[in-house]
């Protein structure tokens, strides 16, 4: 009986990443996805594993999209769409910009925010987790201005049921409470986000008690998800 040598883990990963090569190669493509200036040649079968959206859009004799199998995604950045599609092929998406896209990449924090928003709309919960994790990693390099913008986008594209990514914001804010409070415009920026501020206060309560607010406070984000949120 023939025995097959077991493949080492990195071989499997390579195997998977090779799947990404047919993404946008045009080979056997049966669907075109457009976003901003970008056009992607994709495969319904592969996307269909992750989301029903494209299938529904192009069902025979149905909507406009079914005529020539082109789906245009509006109100989302070209890079977010690109990252979303990449995920559908290989299970992850790169942080680096795609130079071939004739649209600037989203800013550092917003990259992930926007992938998250798209993943939510198209109902891909696993991608939401990945995006939130990547955002958490990105917050390790702190920049107060973009944080505020990112914060506002997340609050606009999620609701209270989406506790995962909101909690990432909360932890990052707690960790960098000094630089946030150091902002002149703090009060203006956070007007109307009472819910968040209240949670933030509870988060930094131990630091206030010990009167030594360090910048080391950090909640293990993975642990948070593992608890079933």
Partner 1 sequence: MASRGPRGKIRPPRRGLVTDQVDFDEVWAVLAQSLGEIHHKNASALSFEALYRNAYKLVLKKYGDRLYNQVGQLVTEHLQYVAVRDVKPLVPSAVVTGTVGSAIEKRNGGSKFLEQLKAVWEDHQLCMSMITDVLMYMPHQNRVYCTDHKLPTTYATGMGLFREHILRNSQYKIGTALNKVILDQIQMEREGDIISHGPIKSCVHMLESLYETEEENDNEKVYLTSFENEFIDTSTEFYRAEAQKLLQECDAATYLRRVDKRLREERDRCADTISSLTAPRIQAVVEKELITNTIKEVMSMDSGIRSMLDHEKIVDLSLLYRLISRVDKHKNVLKDMACDRLIELGRNINSSLKTPPAPPPPQPQDISNPSTSGAAAVKEEKAASSATLMAIKWVNDVLALKDKYDRIWEQAWEKDKGIETAITRAFTKFINDLQEGPEYISLFIDHNLQRGIKGRTESEVDDVLDKAVILFKYLTDKDLFERHYKNHLSKRLLHNKSLSHDAEKQMISKLKVEVGVAFTSKLEGMFKDMHLSEEMTSEFRRKQQEGEALKIDLSVNVLTSTFWPAKAVGIDSKPCSYPPIVEEAREAFTAYYLQRHSGRKLIWKPNMGTADIKVAFKGRKHEINVSTFAMVILLAFNNVAPGESLSFTDLKSITMIPDEDLIRNLQSLAVAKSTRLLTKKPMSKDVKPTDVFSINESFSNPKIRFRIGVVALNRVENDKEKKETSDSVAKDRDQQIEAAVVRIMKQRKTLSHQQLVIEVIEQLKHRFAPDMGSIKRRIDSLIDREYLDRVEGSRETYQYLA
Residues that bind partner 1 (CB under 8 A): 36-37, 52-53, 56-59, 61-67, 71-80, 101-106, 110, 113-114, 117-118, 121, 123, 152-153, 156-159, 161
Give the whole-angstrom CA distance, residue 39 versus residue 23.
Answer: 12
Which CB sits closer to partner 1, 44 or 152? 152
In order of 23, 36, 198, the CA distances from 201 in angstroms are 46, 40, 5
Which CB sits closer to partner 1, 106 or 174? 106
Question: Minimum distance between the CB of residue 63 and partner 1, rounded to whole angstroms?
Answer: 4
Maximum pairwise Cα distance, the chain: 74
How many CB atoms within 10 Å of residue 36? 18
Which CB sits closer to partner 1, 132 or 174? 132
Question: What phi-psi label fits residue 36: left (phi over 0), alpha (psi between -120 and 50 degrees) or beta?
Answer: left
Question: Minimum distance between the CB of residue 97 and partner 1, rounded to whole angstroms?
Answer: 10
Question: Minimum distance between the CB of residue 208 and partner 1, rounded to whole angstroms?
Answer: 32
Question: Minimum distance between the CB of residue 57 and partner 1, rounded to whole angstroms?
Answer: 4
In order of 81, 84, 161, the CA distances from 178 in angstroms are 35, 35, 28
Q: Phi then psi for 169, rounded to 5 degrees?
A: -60, -45
Q: Are the C-beta atoms of residues 136 and 111 closer than 8 Å to each other?
A: no
Tokens 């599609």 map to which residue?
85
In order of 5, 6, the CA distances from 2 in angstroms are 10, 12
Question: Minimum distance between the CB of residue 52 and partner 1, rounded to whole angstroms?
Answer: 7
Which CB sits closer to partner 1, 18 or 104? 104
Which CB sits closer to partner 1, 112 or 175? 112
Question: Minimum distance between the CB of residue 227 and partner 1, rounded to whole angstroms?
Answer: 19
Which CB sits closer to partner 1, 69 or 217? 69
Q: Are the C-beta atoms of residues 153 and 114 closer than 8 Å to each other?
A: yes
């Amino acid at each position: 009986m023939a025995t097959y040598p077991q493949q080492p883990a990195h071989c499997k990963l390579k195997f998977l990443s090779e799947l990404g090569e047919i993404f946008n190669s045009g080979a056997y493509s049966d669907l075109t996805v457009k976003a901003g200036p970008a056009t992607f040649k994709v495969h319904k079968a592969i996307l269909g594993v992750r989301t029903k959206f494209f299938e529904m859009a192009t069902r025979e004799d149905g909507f406009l999209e079914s005529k020539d199998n082109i789906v245009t995604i509006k109100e989302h950045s070209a890079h977010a769409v690109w990252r979303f599609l990449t995920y559908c092929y290989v299970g992850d998406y790169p942080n680096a910009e795609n130079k071939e896209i004739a649209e600037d990449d989203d800013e550092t924090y917003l990259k992930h925010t926007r992938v998250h928003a798209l993943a939510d709309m198209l109902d891909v919960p696993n991608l939401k987790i990945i995006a939130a994790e990547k955002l958490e990693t990105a917050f390790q390099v702190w920049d107060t201005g973009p944080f505020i913008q990112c914060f506002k986008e997340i609050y606009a594209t999620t609701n209270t049921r989406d506790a995962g990514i909101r909690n990432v914001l909360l932890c990052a804010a707690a960790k960098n409470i000094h630089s946030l409070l150091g902002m002149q415009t703090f009060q203006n920026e956070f007007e109307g986000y009472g819910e968040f501020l209240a949670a933030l206060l509870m988060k930094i309560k131990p630091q206030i008690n010990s009167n030594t607010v360090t910048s080391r406070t950090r909640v293990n984000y993975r642990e948070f998800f593992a608890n079933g949120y």
